[in-house]
Structure 1
Amino acid sequence: MSIQSSTTRRRFLSRSAALSVATLAPTHLRSVLSAEPDSANDRPGLALVGAGRMGHNHLRFAKGMCDVVAVCDVDQNHRQKAVQNLSGGKALGVNDYREVLDNKEVDVVYIATPDHWHAKILIEAMLAGKDVYCEKPLTLTVDEGKQIRKVQQQTGRIVQVGTMQRSYLDLFVKAVAIAGSGRLGRILRATASIGGSSGSGPIPVAKVPKWLDWNQWLGPAPESPFRLIADPKADEWHIGKTNAHQNFRWWYDYSGGKMTDWGAHHVDIACWAFREAGQSDALVSIEGNAKMPVPYENGFPTQADQYNTAHSFSILAKMKDGTELHIKSEGRNGVLLEGTRGRIFVSRGDLTGAPVEQLKDNPLPEDAVAKVYRNMPTPYNQHRNHWANFFHCTRERVEPISDVTSHLRAIDICHLANLSARFGRSLRWDAETEQILGDDEMNSLLARPARSGFETKLS
Structure 2
Amino acid sequence: MTKKNSRRSFIKRATITSAVLGTSPYILTASNDEIIALKRSYDNTVYSANDHINIALIGSGIQGIYDTQSALKVDGVKLVAVCDLYTGRLERAKELWGDHLFVTRDYRELLELKDIDAVLIATPDHWHQTIAVAALKAGKHVYCEKPMVQNFNEGQEIIKAQKLSGKICQIGSQGMSSLGNEKAKELYEDGAIGDIVMLDMYNDRYSAEGAWQYPIPTDADPNTIDFDTFLGKAPKVPFEPTRFFRWRNYKEYGTGVAGDLFVHAFSTLNYVISSNGPSRALATGGLRYWKDGRNVPDVSITLYDYPKTNTHSPFNAAFRINFIAGSGGGGGFKLIGTEGEMEIGQNSVTVNRSKLNMVPGGYSMISFTEEMQKNIQKEYAAQENDRKSQLTTGKTTWQAPKDYKGAHYDHFNNFFTSIRTGGKTIQDPKFGLRAAGAALLANESYYKRQPVNWDPENMKLI
Task: Tell me whether the two structures share a fold, i.e. TM-score over 0.5.
Answer: yes
Does the aligned pair in 2 maintain the 1:285–1:429 contact within 8 Å? yes
Partner of 2:42, secondary structure, is: helix
User: Hey, what does 1:65 align to over in structure 2?
Assistant: 76
Are the counterparts in 2 of residues 145 and 408 from structure 1 also a CA contact under 8 Å? Answer: yes
Q: Give 1:144's match in structure 2, choosing from 154, 166, 186.
A: 154
Q: Which amino acid aligns with 1:382?
A: A
* Separation of aligned partners in 2, 1:361 and 1:53: 38
SS of alignment partner, residue 137 of structure 1: coil
1:327 match: secondary structure: strand
For residues 243-295 of structure 1, give each alpha carbon's deviation from its aligned partner in whole angstroms, at most 9, with x where no partner exists.
112x21111111111111111111211122221xxxx434321124222469x
Q: 1:39 to 1:285 in 2, by over 3 A?
A: same
Asked if 1:154 is matched to 2:161, the reply is no
Q: 1:127, 1:283 → 2: CA distance? A: 32
Give the counterpart letter for 2:331 in structure 1: N
Aligned to 1:218: 231
- 1:323: which partner in 2? 315
For the structure 1 residues 80 and 434, does the alpha-carbon distance in structure 2 shift closer, same or farther, using more than 3 Å as the test? same
Asked if structure 1 preserves the Cα contact closer than 8 Å seen for 2:353 and 2:394, the reply is no
User: Partner of 2:229: helix, strand, or coil?
Assistant: helix
Counterpart code for 1:326: A
2:39 matches 1:39: no
Of residues 180, 194, 204, the one that matches 1:185 is 194
The one-letter code matched in structure 2 to 1:335 is F
Q: How far is the alpha carbon of 1:350 from its aligned partner?
A: 4.5
Q: 1:379 to 1:132 in 2, by over 3 A?
A: farther
User: What is the aligned counterpart of 2:284 among 289, 293, 296?
Assistant: 289
Alignment of 1:270-289 (within 5 A): 270-275=269-274, 280-289=275-284
Quick check: 1:425 aligned with 2:417? no
For 1:432 and 1:167, locate their aligned partners in 2 and report how far apart those are by CA, in whole Å: 23
Matched AA of 2:230: W
**Residue in 2 that maps onto 1:255:** 254
RMSD between aligned residues: 3.2
Shift of residue 145 of structure 1? Answer: 0.8
Q: Structure 1 residues 314 and 131, CA, compared in 2 at 3 Å: closer, same or farther? A: same
Residue 290 of structure 1 aligns with an amino acid whose one-letter code is G
Q: Report the counterpart of residue 15 of structure 1 in structure 2.
A: none
Of 107, 116, 124 in structure 1, the residue corresponding to residue 126 of structure 2 is 116
Over residues 436-458 of structure 1, what are the superposed CA-to-partner deviations in whole Å (9 max), with x where a residue is unaligned?
A: 33xxxxxxxxxxxxxxxxxxxxx
Q: 1:269 is paired with a residue of what secondary structure? A: helix
Aligned in 2, Cα 1:404/1:355: closer, same or farther, shift over 3 Å? farther
Q: Which has the larger radius of gyration?
A: 2
1:441 match: none
State the identity as a percent.
29
Residue 273 of structure 2 aligns to a residue whose secondary structure is: helix
How far apart are residue 318 of structure 1 and its match?
Answer: 0.8
CA contact (8 A) 1:281 1:320 kept: no
Give the whole-Å Cα distance in 1 for the aligned partners of 2:122 and 2:60: 7
Q: Note the C-alpha offset of 1:361.
A: 10
8 Å CA contact 1:195, 1:329 repeated in 2: yes
Counterparts in 2 of 1:10-159, with a 5 A limit? 32-33=42-43, 38-63=47-72, 64-86=75-97, 88-159=98-169
1:289 counterpart letter in structure 2: T
> 1-side partners of 2:175 and 2:459: how far apart?
27
AA paired with 1:82? Answer: A
- What are the superposed Cα offsets for residues 146-198 of structure 1, whole Å, 9 maximum, x if unpaired? 111111111121011111111221x2322222112211111112122134786
CA shift for structure 1 position 324: 1.6
CA deviations on 1:72-129 (whole Å, 9 max, x unpaired) are 111111012213422x211111110001111101111011111111111111100110
The letter of the residue matching 2:435 is: A
Q: Distance in 2 between matches of 1:266 and 1:359?
A: 27
Residue matched to 1:340: 338
CA distance in 1, matches of 2:142, 2:119: 5
Q: Which amino acid aligns with 2:82?
A: V
State the one-letter code of the partner of 1:345.
Answer: E
1:352-431 matches, within 5 Å, as: 352-354=350-352, 380-431=405-456
CA change 1:227–1:78 in 2 (3 A) is same
Q: Which residue of 2 aligns with 1:374?
A: none
1:107 & 1:359 partners in 2: Cα distance?
51
Q: Is the 8 A contact 1:286 1:428 kept in 2?
A: yes
Which one of 274, 292, 313 corresponds to residue 300 of structure 2? 313
Alpha carbons of structure 1 residues 30 and 85: separation in structure 2 relative to 1, 3 Å: closer
TM-score of the superposed pair, with normalisation by structure 2: 0.71
CA 1:48–1:178: 2 relative to 1, 3 Å: same
Unaligned runs of 5+ in 2: 1-38, 309-313, 323-328, 355-391
Secondary structure of 1:354's partner? strand
Task: Give the letter aligned to residue 307 of structure 1.
Answer: R
C-alpha contact (below 8 Å) 1:127/1:155 kept by paired residues:
yes
User: Which whole-Å CA distance do the structure 2 matches of 1:53 and 1:328 have between them?
Assistant: 24
Whole-angstrom CA distance in 1 between matches of 2:42 and 2:264: 26
- 2:121 and 2:145 in contact (8 A); partners too: yes
Q: Distance in 1 between matches of 2:288 and 2:112?
A: 42
Distance (whole Å) between structure 1 residues aligned to residue 171 and residue 45 of structure 2: 19
Cα gap change, 1:259/1:392 in structure 2, threshold over 3 Å: closer, same or farther?
same
**Whole-angstrom CA distance in 2 between matches of 1:362 and 1:349:** 14
CA change 1:362–1:253 in 2 (3 A) is: closer
**Contact 2:195–2:339 at 8 Å: present in 1 too?**
yes
Given residue 65 of structure 1, which amino acid in structure 2 is its aligned partner?
A: G
Once the two structures are TM-superposed, the CA of residue 224 in structure 1 deviates from its matched residue by 1.9
Where structure 1 has 5 or more consecutive residues not aligned to the other structure, the ranges are 1-28, 229-241, 295-302, 370-377, 438-459
Give the drift of 1:48: 0.8
Give distance in 2, aligned partners of 1:353 and 1:361. Answer: 6
SS in 2 for 1:315: strand
Work out the CA distance in 1 between the residues paired with 2:120 and 2:350: 34
For the residue of structure 1 that corresponds to 2:438, the secondary structure is helix
Tell me the SS of whatever aligns to 1:118: helix
- Secondary structure of 1:389's aligned partner: helix
